[in-house]
Structure 1
């Protein structure tokens, strides 16, 4: 076959699939209830051939009132979807108008009948668990015994009863299909319940009994009957060709496109036998055992969750159902207000906070979509954690760092600057703690420094010297500039999964003692912990992706750079 012919065949197959999918459209159409009522009328009897007026009368008798014109429109649409076909029966009418109306008669198509039957069965099905037809396993073994007995007893003088044999074969395959469908539906229900995180209370107790009792019973029946059925299939294998030949003598449909009953081909028998023996992979009994183990394991996981002290502890299912009932009873305006109150979806409002706004163009009427983005800390953005990470810098004691001594002149001035000493009775009632003594010394030391600085400035002014602004110093004499500079020449190099960063000391602080550094990673998803560094170097290990580093200078008094130096290595 040529490529063009293959394309035509593929296009025809796709068109056929699309046409069959149209058979389901009436179920979800805008007038789905009316379409379903019409299809129910057509499928309620055999060989129904109805006109629009007859359909209208039949619907009225069932409680659905539709005019003849509306019924005609609905039937024409169902015909386009393939659910109905035109009838050809001649109608006996009294007037020309009745003839025009009855000229268009409709019948339900074969696929339309099947789709409607399955749809109505699905709509009528309950939400609970479906019982498994486990008793059919034993019945299947007995039916296979009868088939083997019939074929073994057959001879030329006494041929096999083909009608009875055909009935036994159909029973075997119908039993297998019903059992398989009920097992799938049961475990589908089990799976929907197991995936619920809010399973608790009486509902959990009922489901636990269902799993522990019913699944155990089902597993035991499968373990008892499945090997027996498999042995019966093995015994029937040498006789299978004779079974198929005997059933082939029965009258059947001559149409090549007709759907045959199951069990009339060797392929059907191999598929059923493979379910028990696992010829094409995992067998059906093994699949059922694994499903039971998985269900029981999930039940234990839910039990541990409910018993764990770190779990949620309380199911919110009742609250959510209550909220759903409020939505169901609310009108549109109340529903909008309830939704906003329940989920916090209020209208966007950008309130102008004052002159410290980073961009004065962001006013009260500016949408959040167009406003300047707000900086969100990485810990809050990545982990939802507002807590500070890393070590907290200690606050240095400037008095202790200055090295005050009781024998110095400053100490003498300190004693002179102290207030009057309390009497002995007051001193006994309130003994001085070390923290209180440090506070007193710090205040006195500050007074002495101010007096000394004032004296120097005053002496310089008397001599006519220009005024010199005092310079603050760190604890070890390092001058503290107005802004601590950032490190210089920050750069990184990669060696496999290890990245090494180096930087330089700012020119203002070169040669000073006590200068250290702090660094932290800033790429998305990295741990933002701040690390101290004595040397201008940082090594990041096990970092196969991009690494970004932020480095600051730290003075002995704890002051750090106002702006960090940053660099990234891909």
Structure 2
């Protein structure tokens, strides 16, 4: 089945192929796939080595995975198909036919596979714990930028390219550490501040650490910000010269002849992120200033929780209850888990009852599946605070009877005016060429004229007639092309002439036509 065409929102084919390298970590056999990738990435010596399916099977057996060589070969072929591994071009040495058949296919790690598995290991080793912001990097970044800003043209020309590249790369390594730690800290902080189930003891410990740390963090950023922004502004005009000198040393060339990628900061485009973080740009503040505002918002959210605990208001949060329920499910057998499910959620087995909805205002019957029915409207108080009590008086029911009667009277008057206009036009039956009408009759005549031409479907030719019957009247309007003869419509609003056209009001009732 072909995928739907979604225009510019679809990923390019090359990017979708790269993302295929992530598939092995989400399969049912992910444990064995990760163990296989660890045999290629676990040691530095494994990065340049190639292995056969038999050798990988032996290493997996040492880790507790008992897989046949054929199964391992299938898993290795899957990783080759998705770009994590590649078949080695080295010929296998074998002393027997059996050894040759076992070792004929050898596999080695690809650059994409090493990058993906490094991210997988980092994700598996990640813990939901707090991480401090690396504010100590601010001083190092400032020192490096000041040193680069003191280099004039003769000093840049005399500088050693490798030493200059080292100084620039050091500044950006510290900058990346600062940015990544700041993101991790605020991600953790947002998960804690939204919880309503913190008791007094947990809140006290969290408050003390958070307030003290956030205050030190904000003070550290505020102390370095003016100097860092000034240093960045001073260095930026010389970035192109610095990068050109740093890249003038001996460089690694790829097999296709292109220059290999270097560390961040050695390309002038890399400095845009540094400028945005410490200085900002047109119409936007610096990211460092945004970090300080986030700290203020975090303290404000902390005070909201403090006020909740001090006033004794207990918002309904199910965070702790859900963790307890999940632990019960994990420890229960099948029968106990089914009983626990029914008790916790009230979802018993279906009874196949069928009856129509009683309320015309609610056309969805109670027996309709949740998958196919619209979402229920949950009141804000119930959704946010778990409060089921409706506060305040019930609003007075509005009476729209007077408004409805006024609209009906207005509609009736409009129909009377239209009937009068139809009658006025009908009195011109048998008198083509000149029509004297009121403004309302003229508007209605033009409406009928447009309907006649639209119903004809093509331009009027010689002898063609475009006709339209008047609604509720015993006449029709006929439009004919008559070269040399015009139709003049006169009304209080003005005089209109239709060139080479004749509008004729003709009776549709035979008694009128013959009378």
TM range (shorter): 0.5 to 0.7
Contact kept? 1:493, 1:499, Cα under 8 Å: no
The corresponding residue for 2:355 is: 371
- Conservation of the 8 A alpha-carbon contact between 2:252 and 2:259: no
- Aligned pair in 2 of structure 1 residues 338, 256: CA closer, same or farther (>3 Å)? same
Determine if contact 2:156/2:242 at 8 Å carries over to the other structure. Answer: no
- Find the aligned partners of 1:245 and 1:36 in 2 and give their Cα distance: 42
Q: Is the 8 A contact 1:52 1:101 kept in 2?
A: yes
Q: Is there any run of 5+ residues in structure 1 with no aligned partner, and where?
A: 1-6, 350-366, 392-489, 501-570
Q: Please tell me the root mean square deviation across aligned C-alpha atoms, in Å.
A: 3.5
User: Which of 284, 287, 291 is the aligned partner of 1:284?
Assistant: 287
Distance 1:347 1:220, change over 3 A: same
Give secondary structure in 2 for the equivalent of 1:154: helix
- CA spacing shift, 1:151–1:387, aligned 2, 3 Å: closer
User: Is the CA contact (8 Å cut-off) linking 1:200 and 1:315 kept in structure 2?
Assistant: no
Query: C-alpha separation between the residues in 2 aligned to 1:264 and 1:141?
Result: 18
For 1:18-167, list aligned pairs within 5 A.
18-44=16-42, 45-151=46-152, 154=155, 159-167=158-166
Query: 1:342 corresponds to which residue?
Result: 344
Asked whether the equivalents of residues 132 and 179 of structure 1 are also in contact (C-alpha less than 8 Å), the reply is yes
Report Cα offsets for 1:2-61 as digits up to 9, x if no partner. Answer: xxxxx9x98997211211111111111010000000001111222121111111122223
C-alpha change, 1:97 and 1:496, in structure 2 (3 Å) is farther
Distance 1:23 1:114 in 2: 10
Q: Secondary structure at the match of 2:401?
A: strand
> Could you tell me how far apart the structure 2 residues matched to 1:11 and 1:387 are?
46
- Counterpart of 1:308 in structure 2 is 311
CA contact (8 A) 2:79 2:85 kept: yes
What are the superposed Cα offsets for residues 346-392 of structure 1, whole Å, 9 maximum, x if unpaired? 3456xxxxxxxxxxxxxxxxx34x125456999xx99877999889x
Give 2:182's aligned residue.
183
CA distance in 2: counterparts of 1:130 and 1:499, whole angstroms: 69
Q: Where in structure 2 are the equivalents of 1:227-266 lying within 5 Å? A: 227-254=226-253, 255-256=257-258, 258-266=260-268
The structural deviation recorded for 1:85 is: 0.8
* Range with greater deviation from structure 2 (232-241 or 26-35): 232-241
Deviations 1:472-526 (A, max 9, x none): xxxxxxxxxxxxxxxxxx99342899999xxxxxxxxxxxxxxxxxxxxxxxxxx
State whether residues 492 and 499 of structure 1, in contact with CA within 8 Å, keep that contact through their aligned partners in structure 2.
Answer: no
* Secondary structure at 1:39 match in 2: helix
Q: Retained in 2: the 8 A contact 1:150–1:160?
A: no
- 1:274 maps to 276
Distance 1:270 1:22 in 2: 31
Match of 2:401 among 492, 495, 501: 492
Q: Does 1:299 align with 2:302?
A: yes
Aligned-residue offset at 1:172:
0.8
Matched residue count: 372
The alpha carbon displacement at 1:237 in A equals 3.0
Structure 1 position 206, deviation (Å): 2.6
- Alpha-carbon shift at residue 316 of structure 1 (Å): 5.5
Name the SS for the 2:209 alignment partner.
helix
Shift of 1:195: 1.7
Conservation of the 8 A alpha-carbon contact between 1:84 and 1:109: yes
Spell out, residue by residue over 1:183-234, the C-alpha distance to the aligned partner (whole angstroms, 9 max, x if none). Answer: 0011001011112222223322232123201111111111111221222222
1:63: Cα distance to partner?
A: 3.3
Q: Which residue of 1 aligns with 2:216?
A: 217
- Asked if the contact 2:131–2:184 (Cα under 8 Å) also holds between the matched residues in 1, the reply is yes
Aligned counterparts of 1:10 and 1:310: Cα–Cα separation in 2: 50
CA contact (8 A) 1:150 1:165 kept: no
1:323 aligns with 2:325: yes
Between structure 1 and structure 2, the one with the greater Rg is 1
Give the match for residue 15 of structure 2: 17
Q: Secondary structure at the match of 1:78?
A: helix
Distance 2:274 2:54 in 1: 49
Distance 1:100 1:371, change over 3 A: same
Q: Spell out, residue by residue over 1:254-285, the C-alpha distance to the aligned partner (whole angstroms, 9 max, x if none).
A: 34374332112222123212210112522122
Query: What SS does the aligned partner of 2:108 have?
Result: strand
Deviation at 1:98, TM superposition (A): 1.4
| Aligned mates of 1:49, 1:228 — CA distance in 2 | 52
What whole-Å deviation, never above 9, does each CA across 1:411-463 have from its counterpart, x for those lacking one?
A: xxxxxxxxxxxxxxxxxxxxxxxxxxxxxxxxxxxxxxxxxxxxxxxxxxxxx
Q: Distance in 2 between matches of 1:123 and 1:382?
A: 37
Aligned to 1:174: 173
Q: Quick one: structure 1 residues 377 and 494, their matched pair in 2 at CA, closer, same or farther if it must change by over 3 Å?
A: closer
| Cα deviation code 1:292-323 (max 9, x no counterpart) | 111111111122222334534x8665444332
TM-score by length of 2: 0.65
Tell me the SS of whatever aligns to 2:292: helix
Alpha-carbon distance in 2 for matches of 1:100, 1:211: 63
How far 1:126 sits from its partner (Å)? 1.3
SS in 2 for 1:130: coil
Q: Report the CA distance shift for 1:264/1:388 in structure 2 as closer, same or farther (over 3 A).
A: closer
For residues 361-510 of structure 1, the aligned pairs below 5 Å read 367-368=352-353, 370-373=354-357, 492-494=401-403
